[in-house]
Each structure stands twice: as structure tokens, then as C-alpha cells.
């Protein structure tokens, strides 16, 4: 049902570098790019877009808004969470089991958008 999710950025070049590395770690690559935004896809399911706001106003984070990035293993969750932090992201919840089948790590990107990388194994 979901085709893509979009996060706002105030610095497209900085966001591009951050998400190029996150996407690659999750098996994705750039699928779209123009002067306002970039999109990444793993070739299946929804895409992730980072865009400068259409209205020309500053991008801001939504309270309660979060994008979930699926990973194939707990090891991949650990790797991507650590990668996000090494690229300047902020920890919003260290990696670990949240339930018997849900393993996740939460972080904020360079613009303050909240994401979670998770697996259900």
C-alpha cells in the first residue's frame, strides 16, 4: 500500500551522503534524483525520498513521525544503527529486542528526522 516515504532536508548534499550509505547497507541504491530531492530503493516495496520542501520553507521534523527501515537480520540492524551514528546521526534508542520477534535501533538523521531500523526475526 505504501509507495514511498518522504523526509524533509535543509541540506540535500549532506542528506544524500548520509542516505547513500544507509541505503547501501540495506541493499538499496539511488532510484531518483533531481535538484530538489533524491530517492532510494532496494528494488522491492516502498522507496525512501529526501526532499527540500516544495513550499520553500525550512524543513522540520514531525513530532511522532518516524520512518521504519527493514533489515534482514539482527546483525544488519546493529550494523546500520552503528553506521547512522558514525555518520553523525543521533541515538534515539539503542539496538535491542523490543519484543520476542521485534529487534530494533532508533536514530535521528542529520536533519533531526526519526528513523528505526528493525527486523522481525
CATH number of residue 13's parent domain: 3.10.180.10
Domain count across the chain: 1
pLDDT at 62: 87
Q: Judge if pTM exceeds 0.75.
A: yes
Backbone angles phi and psi of 97, in degrees to 5? -75, 130
Q: What's the whole-number mean pLDDT along residues 31-59?
A: 94
What is the domain range of residue 112? 4-53+60-119
CA angle centred on 41, ends 87 and 21, rounded to 5°: 15
pLDDT at 73: 97
Q: What's the whole-number mean pLDDT along residues 68-84?
A: 97
Query: Judging by DSSP bridges, how do beta strands 67-70 and 114-119 pair with one another?
Result: parallel
Q: Is the pLDDT of residue 71 over 90?
A: yes
Instruction: Say which residue, 67 or 45, is predicted with more confidence.
Output: 67
CA angle centred on 93, ends 89 and 99, rounded to 5°: 140
Backbone angles phi and psi of 5, in degrees to 5? -120, 145
Specify the DSSP class assigned to residue 113: -
How would residue 121 be classed by pLDDT, with cut points 50, 70 and 90?
Answer: confident
Amino acid at each position: 500500500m505504501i509507495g514511498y516515504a518522504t523526509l524533509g532536508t535543509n541540506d540535500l548534499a549532506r542528506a544524500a551522503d548520509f542516505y547513500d550509505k544507509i541505503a547501501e547497507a540495506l541493499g538499496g541504491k539511488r532510484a531518483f534524483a533531481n535538484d530538489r530531492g533524491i530517492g532510494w530503493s532496494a528494488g522491492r516495496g516502498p522507496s525512501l525520498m529526501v526532499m527540500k520542501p516544495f513550499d520553500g520553507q525550512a524543513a522540520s521534523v514531525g513530532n511522532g513521525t518516524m520512518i521504519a527501515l527493514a533489515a534482514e537480520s539482527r546483525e544488519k540492524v546493529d550494523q546500520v544503527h552503528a553506521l547512522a551514528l558514525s555518520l553523525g546521526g543521533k541515538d534515539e534508542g539503542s539496538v535491542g529486542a523490543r519484543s520476542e520477534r521485534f529487534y530494533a535501533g532508533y536514530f535521528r538523521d542529520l536533519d533531526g528526522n526519526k528513523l528505526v531500523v528493525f527486523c522481525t526475526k
